[in-house]
Each structure stands twice: as C-alpha cells, then as structure tokens.
Structure 1
Amino acid sequence: MRWFVGLCLVLGGVVLATNPGSAGVLDASWTAPTTNTDESPLTDLASYRVYYVTAPTSPCPGSTFVQVASPTTTPPPGQIVSVRLTGLTTGTLYNVAVTAVDTSDSESTCSTVATAAAALELSATPSTLSFGSVTIGTFLEQVFTVQNMRTGTVSGTAFVSAPFTIVSGSAFTLAGSGTTEVTVRFTPTALVTSTTNVNFTADGDSISRSVTGIGALTTLALTVSKTGAGSGTVTSNPAGISCDATCSAAFAIGTMVTLTAAPAAGSTFSGWSGSCTRTGACTVTMSAAQAVTANFSVKVPITFTDDPLVVQTTAVQAVHIVELRTAIASFRALNGLPTFTWTDLTLTPGTSPLQAVHILELRTALSEVYQGLLMAVPTYTDPTIVAGETVSKAAHVQELRDAVRALP
C-alpha cells in the first residue's frame, strides 16, 4: 500500500475572542497532496479528516473530526483545501490535524498539529437592547450593529419571537470585517414585561442578544354601572362619564376622578360599591382600571305623626323627636357615619320633658349627613338654641322634617 505524503496544515484568519462562551469558529486550510510516498502520482484521493480537540491534547488520531470531500481524486499542484470548524468555544485554544483518505478508505498519517484560538464569526452590539415602556397600540424600533469578524464573506439571518420583530436586516451578506444594521421592533400587546433573545446565525454558528420591553398604557378605563330598583344618573369630574349615555371613559394615569350620583324623582341614591363605598361623592385615583357601581333604590315616603305640624298650634311631643332620631339615624348609617349619642336616649311620650338640647342634637346629627353628601347645610329658625332658655317650637321640628325629606 502506498501512503500519501505528509500534509501541511494552516489555521487562518484567527481573531481572538471578546466574549468567551459564545459559539466560535476556526478556519483550517492545507495544500492538497499530489503524490504518494513512492513519488507516484496521486489518483485516488477521496476525502480528508480534520481532527480537533482543545489544547494541549493531541487531536489525531481521535474521535472528534469532520470529513471533507476532496474536490478531485487527482489534485493539481498548489490546490488549497479549506474547512470551517464551527460550534467551538470562543477564546479557547484548539489543536487541529488533518489526514487524507483514499477511495479504499485507507488513511494517511496525521499532519503536523496546528494550534489557534476559536474566534467569533459574528459580533452584534450592543449586548442588550432595552425598549423601556411602550404604549400598547404603538411600537418602538432599535438597532443592532452586526459585524463579520472573519476575513472571508459570511451570510446570515436574524430571528426574534413576538412581540418583537425584525424590521430590516434579517438576511445579510458581509465581506470580511463588514458591518450591517439589523432593526428590531417592539410592539407590545399586553401590560407585561417581555424579554427574549435575538438570534444571529451565519454558516451554522449563532450568537444571541437580549431584548426587553414593557407594555404600558397612558390611560386607564373607569367603568360605571347602575343597580337597584330606582333610577338616576352618574357624572364625573373631569368630564367623561355621563351615565345613562356614557358609562365608561378613559382617563390619564394618576388622574383623580370624582363621581357624583343624582337620583331621579321618586328614587334615592343608596350608595356605591366596587372601587368606592358608602354614599356621597366617590373619588377614585386612576392608578389602575376602576369599576364603580351606583345603587339607586325607590324612595320610600317618610311619614311622621302630626304631619304637618302647625306653627303655634301643634304642641311638640316626645314622639316627634323620636321619629326624627330614627329617620336621621338611618341616613347616618347609610352614609357611613357613626351612631349619634342622644341626650335622654329613651324619650317616653307623655312623660319625658322636651328640651332645647334635643333639637340642637337633631340639627347637628342631620348637618353631618348633609356635609358627608357635600350638600349645603339647612338653615333654621332660631339658629342659636340655648339649652334651658330656647323653647322647642313646632317650627323647629317641621324644619327638621323638611330637611330629612330633602335628602337624596
């Protein structure tokens, strides 16, 4: 058996790594043999085996190699054969050797070992793109600069998953040391932070770069609904809500929105639920989408003994005070006010003497309801009642009854 002459291996175009751990490459080239060891012409060359292993281990013979077909069975003088070893660790030294294999699968001895560091085929800068907060329904674009780190021409593509897309530069061909721009677009569809990798692939090797972005809103929705057997309207300040007609509106983030409920005739507003509670005006801060329900009920007529009281004719009785206490207490409870403490908690009709303090307390308790509803406090006859001096009158009681009935 005649053996091939020894091969001279060269590892070319080496550029030392700038980011170890990325996929690197090595370009290996050698001059094809033309004669056998007995100086006879080589006519049955089939392929080459390129062995490689991390230094300082000897690569040949070994289990890690790539098979490279010979361009011809009879190489002409000076024929250069090249191969690119891919998937290597950038910056790591590799030992490489080559053997020749004939058509009978006979293999030559190993060439001299060549040593070099695996290098990047591509680089992409920056290492990370942050798009920040982007409003849903819009998009933002940013650019990676991709460079061919080798001396030869490389062709590649860029890919990224939604909600990111490659707008331009997805397919590229770069001469040695050439650069191109790859434009990435972020189009958020949800209020979440999205993070993924852009993968740049060329000749079987790839590098990845991180992209991240946050879906955001500049406005948030405030939705009003109405419930109950009664009816009424709800309006907002700033304007936007006018429910019946418009029961949902968008407000800028951070806006304080005040809702006001107005019961229709024959109805009463019985309170809020959802993002507001109790009665009175409802103020919500638009730090998130808000939903509020206005409860309207049918107004139940309030009845009193001796109705109406006749000034200078009807005598004020304990039952008149008790009925007003009961009515005012129900409105205080409805509006989230604490229980009022009355003087002479138990008034016995026909037995308990009536005092100016009883009228004064009714006015105070009722005024707090008006204030909670942001309504003007009623005015009364004898606005200053002096305990032990001011005599309770029918007008005092009738005015309180009218003020109670005026509450929504």
Structure 2
Amino acid sequence: MYHQGNGSRSKLFSLFFILVMCCLFLGASALHPSARAGAAGVTLGWDASAGVSGYKIYRGTASGSYTTSVDVGNTTSYTLSDLASGTTYYFAVTAYDSSKEESGYSNEVSYAGGSSCTYSISPSSASFTSSGGTGTITVTAASGCTWSASTGVSWATISSGTSGTGNGTVTYSVAANTGSARTAAFTVAGQTFSISQAAATSTTTYTLTLATAGTGSGTITSNPSGTVFASGTAVTITAAPDSGSTFTGWGGDCAFAGTSTTCSGKMTRNISVTANFTRSVTTTYHTISASAGTGGSISPSGSVSVSSGSSKSFTITPSSGYTISDVTVDGQSVGAVSSYTFSNVTANHTIAATFTQSGTSTTTYTLTATTAGTGSGTITVNPSGTVFASGTAVTLTAAPDSNSVFAGWGGDCAFAGTSTTCNGKMTRNINVTATFNARTTTSSYTISAYAGYGGTISPSGSVSVSSGSGKSFTIAPKTGFSIRYVLVDGVNVGAVSSYTFSNVTANHTIRAYFKYGYY
C-alpha cells in the first residue's frame, strides 16, 4: 500500500513491509486432522509486528488466488477447522491498523488437508557466473503431497518441474547477465531457494558500420540504434528502399541474409554492412488470352496479364459427362492436357481448350501422310491406320532411307520441325508431309554455341555434327545467376537448361543468356 500524510502512516508502511518479509508457518496441529468428522484442521502462526491492530487470514485452493478470509484480531496464531480432507489449501496473512488499512500478503504456505505433508529441497541455494547456466533442485515429499515451483524473475526460468506430487525434480536455467550482480528467491514446494549471479565483466566494444550502394536509394536502421556496442549485444539491421527503388540484397557481414530486408546477429567483432538498392524499372506486361469451349472451363480465363519474363500456369477442367478433347497453344495442339504453363513470357499468347461428351462421340477423322523432297523414306503411324475416332492420340515417325536425310515436317506437323516424331490427337482431319532429301557431299554441319555473362554452355564454340545425327547442349548459370532465355537460330525457346538438335541437316546457332538473381 502507498500512504501519504502524517508520520503514523509512514510508520505503518514500514511495519507492513516487515510483516510481508516475515515468515508464515504451519503450527504442529497442521499435521493432524481435527476431531470433527469429514473435515481437517490446521493451525497457522506468524511473527508479531508492533503497532498492528489485527490480522486477517486469506485462503484458497489455488496458489496466489484466495477466495475467503477471516479477521482473527490481534493474535499471532489461529486454527482453521473447516478444511476438507484431501484438498490442498494455500494461505497468506495481512495486517491492518486502527484505521483498517491493510498490508500486502505475507509469504504463502500450503497444506494438504487431512494429510501429513512436509517438504524439503536440496540444495537450498546456487551461484552462477555472468554467463548463466542450468541447475536442478530435488524436492522430497510424501506420496500424494502436491507442490509447485516458481522463480518470480524473468532472467531465471523453470524448464521442467513447475509442479509435482511426492518426490520430484525441478530443472531451471539462468540467462546470461549483461549488467550488475543480481539475486532471486525461488519458491519451491513452499521452501525458499536462493540464487545469485555475478555481474557482467566484459567491457569490450565493437563498431557497426552501415553503408548503401547501387543505382537506387534507401535507408538502413539498427535496433538498438548506435554504432558502438558492448560485446555480445544482439543487433537487428533493417533495409528500407525509397519510393522508386528496390532492395536487392546485403553485402559485407550481412551477405548471408540475401534479399531479406532484415539481418540479425551479435556483436562479437567489428561489423561492416552494405545494403544494395536498385532504381526500379517499368515492368512490361503481356496478355495471354485463355478460352474454353462447351463442356468445361479453363482457369484463369479471359485476358490474363503476365509480367515479361515470368511464368503463368493454366488449369483445364472438364464438366461432368465431358472429357478434354484438345488444348491448343498459339494455334498448335499440345494434346488433351489438364494443365499448361507458359514459361519466360516475352510475347502475347493464346490458349484454348475443347471438350467432348464422354463415351458418346462417334465422329471419325482421316489422317493423310505423304512424303516429299529429293530423297526417300517412310512414315509410320501408331496406332496404324488412316481413319481414327475423335480424340485418338497418334504418333507419326519419319524414317529416312540410307541415302537420304529427314529434312522436316510439313502440314499439320510443321510445329514438330526436324524432330523425327510428331504427336497429337485426332480432333479434325489431319494432313502431314515428311520431307526427305538425298544426302549431299556435306557430311557434317556446324552448330555455333555461345553463352553470355553469368553462365556457361557445354559444349561451346563451333561444334561439328554429322549430317542427320543429333547434338545436345547443357546450359548452366553461375552462382548468383539464373537462365534468362535461350535462342536457337534466333528463336526464343525459353529458360531451358538443355537443348537437343535432332536430325541435323544444316548449320545452326544456340545462344544462352543469363540474369543476376533467381527471380
């Protein structure tokens, strides 16, 4: 309580402080139940304080939570005889003066009604260095006797054994001390466990140096703020880009944090940190027009805006009673796929899905396959035939004769280029031409392979390839870079990590370009 005014009030405050610090104890009769049937009794005793008009006893069945009280007058002991057997009670005492102004609670004691519960702890005290540590306290109590443990301070915590019944162990930890020496008194099974910790002895300090770099602008802040810190101080550094700039990553001692806007660590040496800010550039967007016919849906649909260089996936879902018939991308069939992803988008695109009713279609389409060119060869169809039910998946394979080379597809297989196979579904009449040319005196061709800054292509340089054979190339970014795109004969084939030229019948070029970062 806080009092203002005359000297008697000040004297009362001092008196109450003495009362709170004195010891509340259980009298001998607390070890025996009273004579009244079905109930137990306990005698409480406490130290007397001068100038006090009387005392009140508070009790409850939970530690620190008191539900009833009794004014016992100016006496230093009192017997409570209406306790229930087998129930643990918690008691505290307050004092009051002639004006009925009341002190704070004394220390708390507990009693398991109707049982003989005594408690002891070992050890009763412990000391720690400034670096902290862990320890254990052994509680000795009879079976059925409950107890609890608490530290009362934030720098010492109980890891296990906050409560128990009978014998038990309390495990605790003490945090490192960065200030002056400190002490605490744990309450364990109603007993006092004293703990002390030495003051921090280190006076070593380290300097934090912050800088910015890049074409953009921004600020760096530290928490706690400052440039000189005691050894071991935990510091969090935050980068905030200005409007029109983006944060592109840390340098120096925060390089490990990458592009996270925060970097945390402890001052165990002098620290130098650089935050890189880049001036924002205008993002270019492209449109993918997505549509679905009767019998299903595509998601997302309509005109979908996609930032240049990024990717976008679409999901095709047939309605009940329908199946996916075909999906075309930029007018070319990619089969009856249920999903499709555009990678490294650098132009506008279209994607369209068609559907057929399950098990009801009797529509058939005709496949016409012919050969052309100065050479000779054959076209095989799997499954074989020329008339197929709608939706049938068909694979066409071109095989040149010994004195000829396959020069590429025409008609509805033109999208397959010089690959010797062409795949698709029969969703309409299909006309295909395979061109075979007679072998010439040229027995090999050159593929020029080039890699820009930030990665490699293997093999590289001028690569000789036998006529009609194939050649594969591997594209690999260096650390900190990713593939931007790959050009084959000047055509963007996306951010692929490998590419294979099949049935080479002419010179080719392949060029790989890279970008810094992974997005």
| TM-score calculated relative to the size of structure 2 | 0.22
Structure of greater relative contact order (alpha carbons < 8 Å, 6+ residues apart): 1
Structure with greater strand percent? 2
Structure with greater helix percent? 1
Q: Which has more radius of gyration?
A: 1
